[in-house]
């Protein structure tokens, strides 16, 4: 009996040696493609010792970049949460014409190059852009200043929260909300007491990914920032500047901060998937 079930297993599996060969190839690929870049950041950042590392991070331009990066994320993430929740509510709880189109338009920023995302704001608000003259006359700076960086980051992170919430809220339907409504709950009570508890982990998941992208965005921000040291450089741009100045150890020291951010994001993401996987939308896992 055991023998025959073994033979059945063998028929729908691969021989032992092939299995281990494939496992070895897969692990080698993951190590070379994914782990090696991580290792190089750690080694290069530590190459000049702790004092140099500290100096690179506490340097005033880097501190300014940290500050700007935090500011941009603090503005972008809540704005995306508002949009994501609103879009998910409208799309999952109601039927209206053009819903499919709205869904694809929300995803549009994913298929636009980050550089183009920056370019469109330069065309609108740059010195020779549509509103360039007007902005100059009123002494408002958007391009080569913080507002432009926020706008460009907002563009590239636009779909993140909505994409986590929409499939989940569509799965959940509207029965619970309708029950709450029939019991006399107001719209806000319904949202906070019924909808929010159902989607909070998915919302956190979206916030996590949105935040990682907002803090790490390079292309779009690079186009609108103007690279003014200490003023309009985010952390990723600071990495580029140090790298181009041949301050390799300092570049990797700053990069290590962003790497820690990435690892924390991954850790939290994993925790959410393990702990609250059933309350996340499986379909939205790919970005």
Partner 1 sequence: MSAVFAKLAHPWRQAGPLPGLGLTLGISLTWLSLIVLIPLLALLIKASGLGVHGWWAIASDARVWAAMKLSFGTALLAALIDTVIGGLIAWVLVRYRFPARSFFDALIDLPFALPTAVAGIALTAIYAGNGWLGHWLELAGLKVAYTPVGIIVALLFIGLPFTVRTVQPVLENLHREHEEAAASLGASRFTTLWRVLLPQLAPALLTGFSLAFARGVGEYGSVIFIAGNLPYVSEIAPLLIVIKLDEYDYAGATAIASLMLATSFLILFALNTLQRRLSRGQIL
**47-106: which residues touch partner 1 (CB under 8 A)?**
79, 82-83, 85-87, 89-91, 93-97, 102, 105-106
Site size for partner 1, by CB under 8 A? 105
Shortest Cβ 50–partner 1 spacing (Å): 20
Give whichever of 69 and 201 is closer to partner 1, judged by the CB atom: 69
Choice between 120 and 231, CB closer to partner 1? 120
Asked if 160 and 206 count as a contact pair (C-beta separation under 8 A), the reply is yes
Give the burial string for 123-145 (b: 16+ CB within 10 Å, else e).
ebbbeebeebeebeeeeeebbbb
Contact between 222 and 240 under an 8 Å Cβ cutoff? The reply is: yes
Q: Which of residues 236-275 bind partner 1 (CB under 8 A)?
A: 236-237, 239-240, 243, 248, 251-252, 255, 258-259, 261-263, 265-266, 269-270
Kindly calculate the radius of gyration of the chain based on its CA atoms and give it in whole angstroms. Answer: 24
Chain center to CA of 185: 35
With residues binned 3-state (H G I as helix, E B as strand, rest as coil), the percentages for the chain, rounded to 5, are 80, 0, 20
Query: Which parts of 29-48 interact with partner 1 (CB under 8 A)?
Result: 29-30, 32-38, 40-41, 44
Q: How many residues does the chain have?
A: 287
> What is the rounded distance in angstroms from the CA atom of residue 216 to the CA atom of residue 262?
9
Output the smallest distance, CB 54 to partner 1, in A: 19
Q: Which of 147, 204, 218, 231 binds partner 1 (CB under 8 A)?
A: 218
Question: Residue from 174, 198, 247, 279 that binds partner 1 (CB under 8 A)?
Answer: 174
Residue 133 CB, shortest distance to partner 1, in Å, is 14
Query: Taking the mean position of all CA atoms in its chain, how far away is CA 59?
Result: 27
Residue 173 CB, nearest approach to partner 1 (Å): 9
Q: Does 282 bind partner 1 (CB under 8 A)?
A: yes
Q: Are 167 and 279 in contact (CB under 8 A)?
A: no
């Amino acid at each position: 009996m055991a023998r025959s079930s073994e033979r059945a297993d063998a028929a729908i599996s691969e021989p032992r040696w092939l299995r281990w060969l494939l496992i070895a190839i897969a692990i080698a690929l993951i190590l070379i493609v994914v782990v090696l870049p991580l290792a190089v950041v750690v080694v290069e950042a530590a190459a000049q010792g702790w004092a140099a590392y500290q100096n690179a991070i506490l340097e005033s331009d880097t501190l300014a970049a940290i500050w700007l990066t935090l500011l941009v994320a603090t503005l972008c993430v809540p704005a995306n949460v508002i949009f994501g929740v609103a879009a998910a509510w409208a799309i999952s709880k109601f039927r209206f014409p053009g819903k499919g189109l709205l869904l694809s338009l929300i995803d549009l920023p994913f298929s636009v190059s980050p550089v183009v995302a920056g370019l469109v704001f330069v065309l609108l608000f740059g010195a020779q852009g549509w509103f360039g003259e007007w902005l100059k006359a009123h002494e408002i700076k958007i391009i080569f200043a913080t507002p432009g960086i926020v706008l460009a980051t907002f563009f590239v992170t636009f779909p993140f929260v909505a994409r986590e919430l929409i499939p989940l809220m569509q799965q959940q339907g509207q029965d619970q909300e309708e029950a709450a409504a029939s019991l006399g709950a107001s719209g806000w009570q319904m949202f906070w007491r019924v909808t929010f508890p159902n989607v909070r982990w998915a919302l956190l998941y979206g916030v996590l990914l949105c935040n990682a992208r907002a803090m790490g965005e390079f292309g779009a921000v690079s186009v609108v920032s103007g690279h003014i040291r200490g003023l309009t450089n985010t952390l990723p741009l600071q990495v580029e500047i140090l790298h181009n100045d041949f301050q390799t150890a300092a570049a990797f020291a700053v990069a290590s901060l962003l790497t820690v951010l990435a690892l924390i994001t991954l850790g939290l993401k994993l925790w959410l998937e393990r702990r609250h996987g059933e309350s996340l939308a499986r379909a939205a896992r790919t970005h």
